[in-house]
Amino acid sequence: MPESTLLEAPILPKDAPFSSEQREWLDGFLASVFAQFSEILKAQQEANAPVSTTPITVLWGSQTGTAETLAAKFSKKGKKSGLAPKIIDLAEYPHEQLSEETHLVILTSTYGDGEPPDNAAAFHQFLLSDKAPKLENLTYSVLSIGDSSYPDFCKCGIEFDERLQQLGAKKIFNRIDCDVDFEEPFATWTQGVIDAMGLVSPADDEKEESSISRKNPLIVELIENIKLNKEGSVKETRHVALSFGNAPLEYEAGDALGVYPVNCPDLVDEILKKLALDGDKSITSCDGLSKTLRQALLTDFDIGGLNKKVVEAWTKVSKRTPPTDDYLEGRELIDLIKDYPIHFSEEQPFAALMKKINPRLYSISSSPKAHPGEVHLTVGAVRYETFGRQRKGVCSTYLADRAEGEFSPRVFVHKNKAFRPPTNPSAPMIMVGPGTGIAPFISFLQERKATEATGKNWLFFGNPHSSTDFLYQDQLESFQKEGLLNQFSTAFSRDQEEKVYVQDRLIEEAPEIFKWLEEGAYFYVCGDASRMAKDVDYALYLAIQTQGSMSGDEASAYVNRLKKEKRYCRDVY
């Protein structure tokens, strides 16, 4: 019997003729009989499940946990279908084992500018090098996950796929490149691999479908929305606290929260007016459901940054030549409507051109142990001007301006197992988190306090000015006083003539950093990926090279070892 058909524990009907004491006893008795019955059923199910016989190695490359979670899901389903999956983090995969493999799948994301995620970097380098062996006995399939708004869409997965083929490996099933909406293509790929291996998969688990997830978000209540920057700052960073009461929203320090934004109602009205369409008319939205056009514009359609495919489809209808990619930079749907006008005589043809809005991720800045029933975020509100128009980041300004009442946030937890405080409570932690990058480290510190972890903690924080941009100053200073935060290095870049950043502080502190690393410290980085993370990476390498008196290669090997031991962890965006 599949798990999904398991029954709920029986309870007595409300009108059963028993006293409350008798009822309590009988309910307890029924529950214990039911528990025994469930155990027997489970054992029977396990005995009837297909025996896992076909070995398959499942490798994953992931920065923020998506590919890792999908690899686990693939393995779970594969097991039920008769596969014997061996799931391995690419950072831990012995490269020499590759030539021994017969069945292999790789699930990987792409990071940076078309780069492999950190844990896949060494394998990527090996596979694409001359050292990679011939793989004529290997059959494989790749699931590549990425975001088509990046120019190098799914590049890492594409490179793995092409190289494996070049080395003589045969495809079990074609590579699928998943965009941000990865669920359906992932399901197609999983099914495709299982079918192509001549196996039969059981029906999906209904329990999984009903729990809180990206597909099934939870509505939470905004309980705090505080501007963390003081008057005069050029930045607007907000502490956003959300309450989920007793709902089963489970998260750990290091996880991110996925938030579905609600578009700005003023912008929605402007779009409706410009198109001369009726917001109260019913349309079929991206999710296949019927709703008013206004509702779909508020919650379903991506009306922020322009997507290339949308622009192509739009200009085709408007019978104009599509603009070059430069046009997409800094423009939104409202610009397209003005610059490439279309007269829609009905609402549906417009709706059919729209792309689904994506949830945004935010590193969680609370520990569930310190704030049960709550989840906190540190949100940088994105506001800027381009082409003579004030623009607002879709989700950050939704959270900053109107995530209340009918617009309450719909959220889910995005697990990131690769970004956790050390499991060893006495291991030292070095955390580098300028700007909103501070978020997970507030959570890490709260977690270490709540669990009375004894390891030393060192935080590097930076922002423009100490007087206006010292985020969480009170909390951090009290952590210092309590002895929780043993070292605290700040880099307020514009407090002096010469700009100073966290990477400069790291270089200044190189001897002590190296000492901590030698003592087994974990090194964490969170925040800006485009510049800060790269500069910090270089500063770390330099600190190791100079303080360890190492050659460049030795310092690189040291950094790689930190990565392999999961002591160098990055959550950058």
Ligand X SMILES: Cc1cc2nc3c(=O)[nH]c(=O)nc-3n(C[C@H](O)[C@H](O)[C@H](O)COP(=O)(O)O)c2cc1C
Ligand Y SMILES: Cc1cc2nc3c(=O)[nH]c(=O)nc-3n(C[C@H](O)[C@H](O)[C@H](O)COP(=O)(O)OP(=O)(O)OC[C@H]3O[C@@H](n4cnc5c(N)ncnc54)[C@H](O)[C@@H]3O)c2cc1C
By CB under 6 A, name the binding residues for ligand X. Answer: 62-67, 109-114, 117, 145-147, 150, 152-155, 529, 572-573
Q: Does 2 engage in binding with ligand Y (CB under 6 A)?
A: no
By beta-carbon proximity to ligand Y, the closer residue of 354 and 543 is 354
Q: Does 361 engage in binding with ligand Y (CB under 6 A)?
A: yes
Q: Does 378 engage in binding with ligand Y (CB under 6 A)?
A: yes
Nearest Cα to Cα of residue 241 among 220, 229, 224: 224
What character string, x for contact with ligand Y (CB under 6 A) and - otherwise, covers 240-259?
A: ----------------x---
Q: Does 304 engage in binding with ligand Y (CB under 6 A)?
A: yes
185 CB burial (10 A radius; 0-12, 13-18, 19+): middle
- Work out how close the CB of 359 gets to ligand X at its nearest, in angstroms, rounded to a whole number: 11
Q: Does 303 engage in binding with ligand Y (CB under 6 A)?
A: no
Q: Does 180 engage in binding with ligand Y (CB under 6 A)?
A: no
Among residues 2, 322, 323, 330, the one that binds ligand Y under rule CB under 6 A:
330
By beta-carbon proximity to ligand X, the closer residue of 142 and 485 is 142
Between CA 533 and CA 540, with CA 539 as vertex, the angle to 5 degrees is 90
- Work out how close the CB of 416 gets to ligand X at its nearest, in angstroms, rounded to a whole number: 7
Where does 135-287 have alpha helices with state H?
Answer: 155-166, 183-196, 206-210, 265-275
Q: Does 362 engage in binding with ligand Y (CB under 6 A)?
A: yes
The binder of 327, among ligand Y, ligand X, none, by C-beta within 5 to 8 A per type, is none
The binder of 378, among ligand X, ligand Y, none, by C-beta within 5 to 8 A per type, is ligand Y
- Work out how close the CB of 389 gets to ligand Y at its nearest, in angstroms, rounded to a whole number: 11
**Rounded Cα gap, residues 124 and 296, in angstroms:** 42
**Rounded Cα gap, residues 400 and 385, in angstroms:** 18
Decide the pairing of beta strands 429-432 and 522-527. Answer: parallel
By beta-carbon proximity to ligand Y, the closer residue of 158 and 240 is 240
59 CB burial (10 A radius; 0-12, 13-18, 19+): buried
- Work out how close the CB of 111 gets to ligand X at its nearest, in angstroms, rounded to a whole number: 5
- Work out how close the CB of 147 gets to ligand Y at its nearest, in angstroms, rounded to a whole number: 9
Nearest Cα to Cα of residue 533 among 435, 464, 444: 435
Residues composing the chain: 573
Nearest Cα to Cα of residue 73 among 107, 123, 118, 120: 107
Among residues 69, 119, 363, 443, the one that binds ligand Y under rule CB under 6 A:
363
The binder of 394, among ligand X, ligand Y, none, by C-beta within 5 to 8 A per type, is ligand Y
- Work out how close the CB of 207 gets to ligand Y at its nearest, in angstroms, rounded to a whole number: 27
**Rounded Cα gap, residues 378 and 225, in angstroms:** 10
- Work out how close the CB of 256 gets to ligand X at its nearest, in angstroms, rounded to a whole number: 9
Q: Does 375 engage in binding with ligand Y (CB under 6 A)?
A: no
291 CB burial (10 A radius; 0-12, 13-18, 19+): middle
The binder of 173, among ligand Y, ligand X, none, by C-beta within 5 to 8 A per type, is none
The string of DSSP codes covering 108-166 is EE-BTTTBPPGGGHHHHHHHTSTTPPP-TT-EEEEEEE--TTSSSTTHHHHHHHHHHHH
Q: Which residues bind ligand Y (CB under 6 A)?
A: 64, 256, 304-305, 330, 360-363, 378-380, 382, 384, 386, 393-396, 436, 439, 571, 573
